[in-house]
A and B are shown apart, each in its own frame.
Chain A
Amino acid sequence: MSEIVLRTRNLTKRYGKEFAVKDVGMTVKKGEIYGFIGKNGAGKTTLIRLVTGLIHKTRGDIELMGACSEKDLHSARTMIGSIVGFPYFYGNMTARENLEVSRLVRNIAGEKCLYEALALVGLETTGKKKVKSFSMGMKQRLGIANALLGDPRFLILDEPVNGLDPISIVEMRELFKKVNREKEVTILISSHILEELSAIATAYGIIDNGRLVEEISAGELREKCQRYIEIDVIKLQNAVVILEEKFNIRDYEVLPNHIIRVFSHLDAVGEINASLLKEGVTVNQIGLKGQNLEDYFIHAIGGNADA
C-alpha cells in the first residue's frame, strides 16, 4: 500500500459561481490521525463528500490508497469507513439490522462483526430498540460502529463527536486512538472543536473559504504553539544560574540579545521576576509568550473566527 493514503491535487467543487472547495492539495499519510479544521461552511464536508464519491468534482484529482482512476477509486472506497455529516439510519430498524444492511452493502462476511462493532461503541445492549428512538449520542455511536465495520484501512469521520456527552467524547477519542495504534487505521477527522482535535491529531489541515490554508504536523504545531516565559535580562549568566539553582529549571534556551526562553514553570513568572531582581539581575522584560491552537488557527485563517 502506498504511504500516502489520500492525496488531492487542485481539487475543486463549484456550485454555480460559488466555489465550495477550491484547488485543495491535501495529503494524508498512512498511520496519521489527520485533524481537518475549519469554520462552519469552510468546505470540510464538501471535501469529504468529494473523497467518498458522493458528489462530483469540478476539476482536480483524488488519489486514494494509490488509486486515481474512477474505476480504481470505487475499489479503494470499499476499504474506507466513513461518517459524512450526521450519521443517518433506517429509523424502523434496530442498530443490528442497520449494521446488517451495511454489512450486505459492503460485502463483509459473517455476522460476528456486527456484535463486535456494537460492543466497541457500547450499543450491544440496545436489542430490539428501533433507531428512531435512539438519542443523538446513540446515533452518533452507531455511526462510528458503522464506520468501523469490516476493519477499514482509512476512516473518514466528519464531526464524529457531535452530540456526544463529555464522557462519551473521551471514550470515542480513546477508541479512535486504539484503532489507529493497534489496527494501523489512518484517520481523517473533521471538526471545528479545536480542543477535541488537539487531543488526538498527529497532523492538521486548516481549511477556510474552500481553500486549504495550511498543512502542519502536530510536532510542528506544538513547536509553534508552545508557551514559554521570555526574559530579557542584562546579566545573562547570572540569570541562568538563578533559574537553574533556585528554580531547578532545565528546559530553557538562550537566544542572542540576552533573551532566555523558559518552557516550564509557566505559572511562576512573578516569582522568577522577583528572584532575579533580588539577586541584582536587571530584567528589561518578562512575560508569557507563544500561542495556543486557537490563536494559531485564527492567525492561519487571517482574522476572527467562530471556530
Chain B
Amino acid sequence: MLRLIKAEFYKLFKNKTFKVLIAFIMVLAIAAAGLMFLDSSEGFIGDNDGAPEQQNGPAQIPSAAEEREPAIKPGESGIQFESSVPERPTGKETFQGAFGGGLLEIFFVVLTAALVVGEYAAQTIKNILAYGNKREHYYLAKFIALCCGMVIITGLMAAVPTLAVTLKYGWGAPFSFGEAAWVLKIFFSKTIVGAVILSIVMLIATLSRHYGATVALGIVLFTVSPSFLGFFVGKYAWFDKLYKLTPLYNWPVITAVGAADSHILTAVKVSILSLIILLGMGVLLFKKQDVA
C-alpha cells in the first residue's frame, strides 16, 4: 500500500487543480492578513477618541470546567476574525478565525473531485486497478493523499495571516509550550474534522463519478445547506443532537469562541467515528463497482 500512497502523493503534487488551489489559497490568505490590518486601523480610527471599552486581553480558550455552549452561528460563512481589541488583533485570535466557515470546504470539495473523479473521467484508474492493486488500498491511498492536500491548504490559510499578525501585533500571550500545544491541538482537530468532509465528498465522487455533480453536491452540502439548517438549530432537541454529529457543527466548534476542551474532544471523537463509517462505506462501494 505504501507504493500506492507514494504514487498518489506524486500525482497530487503534479495535479494542476491542486496547484491552482494552492495559488488561490495563498491569495486568500494574504487577503485575510490584509483584512486584519485594515480592520485594526479602522478600529483604531473609530476608537480614536477614547480608550477601548474593555481591556480584555488575549482570547482565552475556556477550560473544561467552564461548560458553556460554544458560540457558533450556523450558516455563517467566510472568514470572521473576532478580536477583543479591534485595533490590536493578536496572532492567536487570527489563528482561530483563519479557518473560517464554508470557505475551505469549497477547496476540499474541488480538490477531492479533481483527484477522485479525475481518475474516472480520464480513465487512468484502469492503469492502477488492472495491476492487481487491492481496491481498498487504492481508496485509502487516495484518501491519505487528499488529507495531505487538505493539510497543506488549511495550513497555508491558517499560517499566512497568523504569522503576519503575530509579527506585527504579537501572539497575544507569551508563546509557551502550552500555546504551541494548543495550536497543534486545534490544527489536529481541524484536520480530523476536515478528513470527515473529504471522506463524504469522496463517497459522493465514487458514487456519482461525475465532476460537476460532486462539486455541486459538495458545495450545497458544506456551504449552502448550513444557512438553511441554521433555521432549525435550537428549535428541535432531536435536530440539535443530529446536527452535532455532522462536520457542519464540528468544523466551526473547534475554533468557536467559548469552545472548551470537552467540546473539541467530543468533536474529534464524533469525527473519528464518522470517518471509520464513511471510509468503510466508501471502500465497500468501490469494491463492488465495475470500472468500465
Q: Which residues of A contact B (CB under 8 A)?
A: 49, 52-56, 73-78, 80, 82, 84-86, 88-93, 97, 100-102, 104-107, 146
The residues of B that contact A107 with a CB separation of less than 8 Å are 3
Nearest CB in chain B: distance from A139 CB, A: 12
**CB–CB A49/B292 < 8 A:** yes
Known: A92-B14, A105-B3. 18 other contacts (CB 8 A): A49-B290, A49-B292, A54-B126, A54-B130, A54-B291, A56-B290, A73-B132, A74-B132, A80-B130, A80-B132, A85-B123, A88-B123, A88-B124, A89-B122, A91-B122, A104-B4, A105-B7, A105-B133
Within 8 A of A (CB), among B9-30: 10-11, 14-16
The residues of B that contact A74 with a CB separation of less than 8 Å are 132-134
Nearest CB in chain A: distance from B110 CB, A: 16
**CB–CB A54/B123 < 8 A:** no
Give the docked Cα–Cα distance between A39 and B268 (Å): 57
**CB–CB B127/A146 < 8 A:** yes
Nearest CB in chain B: distance from A77 CB, A: 3
**CB–CB B11/A88 < 8 A:** no
Give the docked Cα–Cα distance between A82 and B291 (Å): 15
Nearest CB in chain A: distance from B248 CB, A: 34
Nearest CB in chain A: distance from B119 CB, A: 9
The residues of A that contact B4 with a CB separation of less than 8 Å are 104-105
Nearest CB in chain B: distance from A143 CB, A: 9
**CB–CB B124/A52 < 8 A:** no
Which of the listed residues A56, A80, A89, A107 has the most CB atoms from chain B within 10 Å of its own CB? A107
Give the docked Cα–Cα distance between A84 and B10 (Å): 23
The residues of B that contact A52 with a CB separation of less than 8 Å are 126, 129-130
Which residue on chain A has the smallest CB distance to residue B6?
A104
Ordered by A's residue number, 17 sampled pairs between the chains whose C-beta atoms are within 8 Å are A49-B291, A53-B132, A54-B126, A55-B290, A77-B130, A78-B132, A84-B126, A84-B130, A90-B124, A91-B122, A92-B14, A100-B10, A102-B131, A104-B3, A104-B6, A104-B7, A106-B3
Q: Which of A54, A76, A146 contacts B129 (CB 8 A)?
A: A54
The residues of A that contact B124 with a CB separation of less than 8 Å are 88-90
**CB–CB A90/B292 < 8 A:** no
Which residue on chain B has the smallest CB distance to residue A55?
B290
Give the docked Cα–Cα distance between A82 and B133 (Å): 14
**CB–CB B127/A102 < 8 A:** yes
**CB–CB A93/B3 < 8 A:** no
Nearest CB in chain B: distance from A240 CB, A: 58
Which residue on chain A has the smallest CB distance to residue B14?
A93
**CB–CB B131/A78 < 8 A:** yes
**CB–CB B129/A53 < 8 A:** yes
Which residue on chain B has the smallest CB distance to residue A45?
B292
Which residue on chain A has the smallest CB distance to residue B138?
A105
**CB–CB B123/A90 < 8 A:** no
Is B72 interfacial (CB 8 A cutoff)? no
Give the docked Cα–Cα distance between A78 and B131 (Å): 5
Q: Which of A55, A75, A84 contacts B132 (CB 8 A)?
A: A75
Within 8 A of A (CB), among B114-158: 122-124, 126-134
**CB–CB B131/A106 < 8 A:** yes
The residues of B that contact A82 with a CB separation of less than 8 Å are 130-131
**CB–CB A101/B292 < 8 A:** no
Give the docked Cα–Cα distance between A241 and B185 (Å): 102
The residues of B that contact A76 with a CB separation of less than 8 Å are 132
Which residue on chain A has the smallest CB distance to residue B133?
A105
The residues of A that contact B123 with a CB separation of less than 8 Å are 85-86, 88
Give the docked Cα–Cα distance between A51 and B254 (Å): 49
Give the docked Cα–Cα distance between A80 and B126 (Å): 13
Which residue on chain B has the smallest CB distance to residue A67?
B132
Is B288 interfacial (CB 8 A cutoff)? yes
Which of the listed residues B15, B288, B290 has the most CB atoms from chain A within 10 Å of its own CB? B290
Which residue on chain A has the smallest CB distance to residue B5?
A104
The residues of A that contact B7 with a CB separation of less than 8 Å are 101, 104-105
Give the docked Cα–Cα distance between A88 and B288 (Å): 23
**CB–CB B132/A88 < 8 A:** no
Which residue on chain B has the smallest CB distance to residue A51?
B130
The residues of A that contact B292 with a CB separation of less than 8 Å are 49, 54-55
**CB–CB A104/B10 < 8 A:** yes
Contact with A along B76-116 (1 / 0, CB 8 A): 00000000000000000000000000000000000000000
